Structure 1
């Protein structure tokens, strides 16, 4: 029987088990023993609210589906009618092909062919690897065309809350700045988090805060990675991001169980919303150039 998310590629290492899907090339489930690390979806469901999806060649929203590059204006289909924007790229519902498969790793690939509104040609690979520390995703994008391509990347994992009430979960985001948004969820102002409800540097309980914002000014360790932690009654989970991922989106809209398993999205991003127009964090991928970035999820029993 065919599944809504296509072929299922399960990988294992110790007590960690993950499932990567053909549709979207993303992360459907991640478990440590008896605990869900991510709030995913079942094999009989479509991914809802971006769960585990790969967001390329742009993450988040693109104003009116329009942008200009190299003096040429392009228009993409509106995929979020509520806001009138093009949302989360071109590959969420496309088939990705299996390139490599091992017991603890899988590599999937997808070619973004030229099309109306995005006349560029980029080959993307995502390597999903489990080891003793957790799950690592390494993504590469190579411009195999002849024109400079606009490029942005995002991943959309939801960290599972399990039986913990959303307001009691402790979320630590080591960021000094947050991007406020307008009524269309498009960028408004980049502000300091100090003195605002968006300041999550102290790791206090989430409370009644509702967040759907991109953070930057992220503190990095000696390994050049930032870390966002979520602590529940069952697990402490960590999403980390390496060089090239200078933003992280936090989304609490599914934290209280409205549609699917309760979880908080912690999304590593190369750029925030509307980067094709603002230029903030936008990569201009030259012909033959390869862009690479890495992020991952770690967990331990609380």
Structure 2
């Protein structure tokens, strides 16, 4: 009897491993594609680690604004490391297999770091609002204890939201002939669609996580900037208005870099089934890989204290 025929009599099946495609339709040029991907991962890890070291070693940067930036950099390191091992394994060595349990672990951390990044960006918008609306009480409001509590709340929120996801996947009966993943990492919408049974609960819970995290965060970020704009326009001179708004430019760019690809990815997985697999895969890579690459570049260019601290560190090492 052929192995695939024997599976038909099995009432419940979980694959020992999934097979990752990488970038569909571009398998023959994975070696060339690995060059820009390797470069992006190197930039992401190096840039964010430099920011963390710069804030830690520079006493003048021990302020709420830079503590939140450190949270963002640490999250970007985690987000990059979540996809790096399997992505480079596929592109460099054509190692496409990932064990079922390893897939669930990667999926949990990948989506958890995405939720953490969304929450940190919301916290940074609150930081901008306090700095502009009440600068004299800025340090008094955002004390070290408050920042630590915000950080712990962010981690707890992501953990509680994503904790059920691996168990919801584990309860599914999978199809032996549908173990081919459309990416080089375990993405929840991709994995759950390999099942041979009703996935309504998984779809509804995934939608709940998206709306209750990224959806609510983006709404509150928009409200924060509405209040920031009203406060800035109420300042006496145009120079003061411009100076106040200029402090938030880097954060606004980081918000767009993260949320636009994130919303696009979510919409494509729900309504873009007719799109080519290559397009869906590339949008997912943009969502997960590009923000960790661009955030340190955005902040090092725009923030003079961060840029000077990073350059000082590089000179000392040189």
Return the structure number with greater helix share. Answer: 2
Q: Which has the larger radius of gyration?
A: 2
Q: State the structure with bigger RCO (CA 8 A, min sep 6), 1 or 2.
A: 2
Return the structure number with greater strand share. Answer: 1
Pair in the same fold by TM > 0.5? no
